[in-house]
Amino acid sequence: MKLYYSAGACSLSPHIVLEESGLAYTAVSAPTKTHKLEDGTDYYTINPLGYVPLLELDDGRRLHEGPAIVQYIADLVPASQLAPANGTFERYKLQEWLTLIGTELHKGCFSYLFSPATPADFKPSIVERLNGRLKWVDGELAGKQYLLGDTFTAADAYLFTVTNWAAYVSVDLSGLSNLLAYRSRVAARPAVIAAMKAEGLIK
């Protein structure tokens, strides 16, 4: 398998999940600023949408969209417990978290804060919305190690990735003690460290 990623982008989530899974894969840098691979290939010839992540299987089939990719990886290695079994209530809770992170945090807030096209006078309302969502997440983490309880799942890789962006858009997490403790737990996982080192995010 090949994972096309851009350092620090949302593709860090499936990068972490691949490391957690123990599956063999190749990580290919596809920077979102240049859309050029290291060998000069135009990334748009691989993914016409131009964004990451993209997972290419050994038979050439491709999967777009992080929440779909992480569930696919998790289902290849059920023993990893990166996703509860299909059809269970817990699997729908995983999908609920992946959807909330993707729509309410990632696209609904952080994407606007990163975009130079977002009017400056609109950003405070986005920050307010984001702070409200993060406060709710903080409450949901009370008494839990991870989003679904004591087991790390694909949803945790996504939440960790997205909340990494707070520092880059001046969003203060200091009052969210549960979230901060959770982030420390996730950051200490060997697979997370390996993925972040591979992307040059930590030494």
pLDDT per residue as tens digits for the range 79-101: 999 999 999 999 999 999 999 99
Instruction: Assess whether 100 and 171 both reside in one domain.
Output: yes
- Let me know if residue 203 belongs to a domain: no
Instruction: Assess whether 73 and 93 both reside in one domain.
Output: no
Q: Are strands 26-29 and 2-5 parallel, antiparallel or unpaired?
A: parallel
Instruction: Give how many domains the chain has, as a whole number.
Output: 2
pLDDT at residue 109, rounded to an integer: 98
CATH number, position 159: 1.20.1050.10
pLDDT per residue as tens digits for the range 185-196: 999 999 999 999
CA 135/CA 52 separation, integer angstroms: 28
Q: How many CB atoms lie within 10 A of CB 27?
A: 18
Instruction: Assess whether 66 and 115 both reside in one domain.
Output: no
Instruction: Assess whether 45 and 75 both reside in one domain.
Output: yes
Instruction: Assess whether 95 and 66 both reside in one domain.
Output: no
- Let me know if residue 171 belongs to a domain: yes
CA 24 vs. chain centroid, Å, equals 20
Average pLDDT, the chain: 97
**Residues shown for the chain:** 203
Residue tagged 């999940």 (tokens)? 17
**Number of helices (H), then strands (E), in the chain:** 8, 4
Instruction: Assess whether 65 and 125 both reside in one domain.
Output: no
Q: Are 20 and 73 in contact (CB under 8 A)?
A: no
Instruction: Assess whether 110 and 155 both reside in one domain.
Output: yes
pLDDT at residue 139, rounded to an integer: 98
Average pLDDT value for residue range 45-64: 97
- Let me know if residue 75 belongs to a domain: yes
